[in-house]
Structure formats: C-alpha cells, structure tokens
Structure 1
Amino acid sequence: MSSEHEIIVNEIIKLLRGGSTHIGLKDALDGLPAHARGDKSVKLPYSIWQLVEHIRISQWDMLQFCLDANHKSPKWPDEYWPKEAAPADDKAWEDALKQIDDDLEQFIRLFQEEDIYKEIPHGNGQSLLREALQIADHTSYHISEIIVIRRLQDNYR
C-alpha cells in the first residue's frame, strides 16, 4: 500500500469513528439520561432514539450494499425511520448502539482490505470510498442533530 493510499485510508477511518473535527456518536450520547432518549418536547421532528435508529438502519444498509449483490434496501423513507419515539427498553437501546459499532467496524475492515476505488459490481458507480464518505457524512449530520436536541433538553455538557 502506498503511503498516500495509507494516509487516505487512515484519515477516512478517523472520520468514520468520529475523530479530529467530528464528535463521534459515543461522545454525543455520553451521559444521556434514559428518559431523554424519546423526548420530543423540544418540538423537533425526531427524538434522539429515532436518530440513533436511523443511523443504525442507514449504516447497516450501506454496509450490506457493499457486501451483498442481492441485498434489498429498506423502503425509503418509511423503513429508515422508526415510528416509536423511544426505545422499547434499555436492551433495545444497547442493541442498537452495539449494532452501529459492530457494523462500522465490519465496514472499516472491508475498507482496509479491499480496493477502495473499485466500483462495486452491482452498483451504479459506487465504490467503498464513496460509501465510506457517505456513512461519515450521514452519521455526522445526525450526530449534530443529537447534540442540538441534547442542548435544547439542557443535558449536554
């Protein structure tokens, strides 16, 4: 691997995990009270739970697209957004966060091992590099919303 390629891969992995100028999901959720997960009192369209689930579903979909030519994406937008404002219980919350972490690490392994510039054969011009940038951009956008909601709830640092 050339040093330029290694620099790009390492910087994008840092971006995916929430490094440098981006706060990661774990930091954005650190100290979040359980009762605030489904709070919609701030009159924004989504609760923190709905944003977390949307991140989970979207990232899972992008990962599966990269791995499986037969993958069927959820129906947009209905199946990308949970209807419930709050998780069913603590286990649902923890399971969602675990899947986000696990899927991200699986994507990162793929990103480290494969040609990041090669078009995904069953796609329309997508590559692992494009999917990595999309995951990072999408997740950071919604992390920002989580932070805004937490600030409006007065429970963020």
Structure 2
Amino acid sequence: MSQDIKKATVSELTELIQKGNAHVSFEDAVADLAPNLRTEIPGDLPYSIWQLVEHIRITQKDIVDFSSSDNYKELKWPDEYWPEFVSEIDDDSWNASLDEIQKDRQRFFDLLNDESKDLFKKFEWGDGQTLFREAVLIADHNSYHTAEIVVIRRLLKAWK
C-alpha cells in the first residue's frame, strides 16, 4: 500500500472514529449532561449513561491494548466489560472516564499513523484481526453505544 493511500485511509478512519460522519459524535452525546442524569435509568432499560460511557471506555481500551501488544490479556465477557449500577457518579470520576476515552483514542490514532504498521496485516496474535478491522470495530462499537446515550437523553428530556 502506498503511503498516500495509507494516509488517506487513516484520515478517513480517524474522522469516522472522532466525528461519526452520519451521526452525532460521542463528545456531543455526553456534552452538558446534568450530573444527576448520569446514573438515571429510564423505563425498563438495562443501563444508565454512566454505564454506557464506562462500557465504551473499557471496550475501547481493550481494543487498543489488543491492537498494540501480543502480551494482551483478554477480559472476561461480559463481567469485565460492563460496570455495575451506581446511584451517582461524581465529577472527578465522570471526567476521568471521558479523559481516558480520549487518551485511548489517541493511542489508537498513534498506532494507525505509525508508518511501520500495515493496516491490513493480520496480527501475529488473535485470529485474523488487523489494525484496519480494529479501527472499524472501534467506530462501530462506539457509534452504537453513542446512539444509546442519545436515546436515554431523549427519554430523560435532556437532549436538544
């Protein structure tokens, strides 16, 4: 793959992960959320916005860790991917989770931009995954749960 094609592909993947293109970004979905709504669970839904944010953080970190090392330690599904319910979450914990999402996203972008990395070469570990596939997985997973955040905000009457 030429460097120009790789740069264009990485640019598209980065934009897809950051902005979502056809849907709201994660940052927009969590912006200006009243602290008391972070842990509210409307109706019969199984989780709160806080649980979704933490699930995004945990899963994205797991994907980045998997993509960057053959020393990866697999998490137990679903127990280690979903946080337990809590009745409230303080600003420090909320902001730390959002910061970690950004840091892990940047770690992944650094992998994508590493000129020594082939986007389509199968990892020596795993069962056929590539850096390209993991980028699409992050974009797909995060956009799915971002949409759920928006739905919960709408049910809580806390959306635009």
Identical aligned residues as a percent: 43
1:122 to 2:150 alignment: no
Q: Give how far 1:4 is off.
A: 3.0
Q: After TM superposition, list the pairs within 5 Å mapping 1:48-87 onto structure 2.
A: 48-86=49-87
Tell me which of 141, 147, 154 is aligned to 1:144. Answer: 147
Q: Give how far 1:76 is off.
A: 0.1
> Is the 1:17–1:24 contact (alpha carbons within 8 Å) kept by the matching residues of 2?
yes
Deviation digits for residues 66-100 of structure 1, max 9, x if unmatched? 11212212210011000124554211111110000
Report runs of 4+ in structure 1 exceeding 4 Å deviation.
none
Specify the alignment match of 1:111 in structure 2: 112
Deviation digits for residues 26-69 of structure 1, max 9, x if unmatched? 11111110000000133211100000000000000011011121
1:12 to 2:24 alignment: no
- Cα distance, 1:104–1:87 mapped onto 2, change above 3 Å: farther
> Is the 1:53–1:82 contact (alpha carbons within 8 Å) kept by the matching residues of 2?
yes
5+ residue gaps, structure 1: none
5+ residue gaps, structure 2: none
CA–CA distance in structure 2, aligned partners of residues 2 and 60 of structure 1: 27
TM-score between the two structures when normalised by the length of structure 2: 0.92
Secondary structure in 1 matching 2:136 = helix
Specify the alignment match of 1:134 in structure 2: 137
Deviates more, 1:16-25 or 1:130-139: 16-25
Partner letter of residue 69 of structure 1? D
Deviates more, 1:41-50 or 1:146-155: 41-50
Specify the alignment match of 2:35 in structure 1: 34
CA–CA distance in structure 1, aligned partners of residues 121 and 88 of structure 2: 38
Deviates more, 1:21-30 or 1:142-151: 21-30
> Is the 2:42–2:152 contact (alpha carbons within 8 Å) kept by the matching residues of 1?
no
Partner letter of residue 146 of structure 1? I
TM-score between the two structures when normalised by the length of structure 1: 0.94
